[in-house]
Amino acid sequence: MEEEISVPNRTRRRGFEYLEHTADVYVAAYGHDLNEAFENAALAMFETMTDTKDVESAVEETIEVEGHDKESLLYNWLESLLTRFEVSNLLYSRFKVQKIEKSEKGFELRAVVYGESFNPERHQQKVGIKAITYHRMEVREETEMVTLRFILDI
């Protein structure tokens, strides 16, 4: 995501930033809409683990998750990606959220993700993520800007 995103009082070349936190990784992900913010949240999570510029788009997968509200949808989205990494050893570097829609159960997300198998010779190992947490999780939708905040337990 090389497009500049305006954030109050600053401009970021990426769609996320790391916020101060004593023990874990606190992330603010931004987007012009909810889809883009969810894409940037996923990118921030994988950027915490490795340099995503080194992750090729060799594998394409479709992911569908549900949540009873937008916070649980964000949690389930990130948790599904983290689980895929842990179970299948796949890193992802590109995310295309195709839809986030209200449903009978709450909200549904459908996305296509791109990545490849982790290779310790090519992929820098940064920080291991143990879990996604609900602590301080926030979904804030404003005119032309969505901000997602969440903590990654490391």
Q: Cβ neighbours of residue 131 under 8 Å, at least 6 residues apart?
A: 79, 82, 152, 153
Other CB atoms within 10 A of residue 95 CB: 24
Say which residue the tokens 């842990």 belong to: 86
CA-nearest of 74, 21, 86, 13 to 49 is 86
Mean pLDDT, to the nearest integer, of 94-99?
98
The answer to whether the pTM exceeds 0.95 is: no
pLDDT digits (tens, 9 = 90+) for 32-52: 999 999 999 999 999 999 999
Helix 34-49 to helix 70-88 angle (10° resolution) is: 40
Whether 73 shows a pLDDT value over 70: the answer reads: yes
> Distance between CA 75 and CA 106 in Å, rounded?
14
Whether 115 shows a pLDDT value over 80: the answer reads: yes
What CATH code is assigned to 5-153?
3.55.10.10
- pLDDT for residue 49: 96
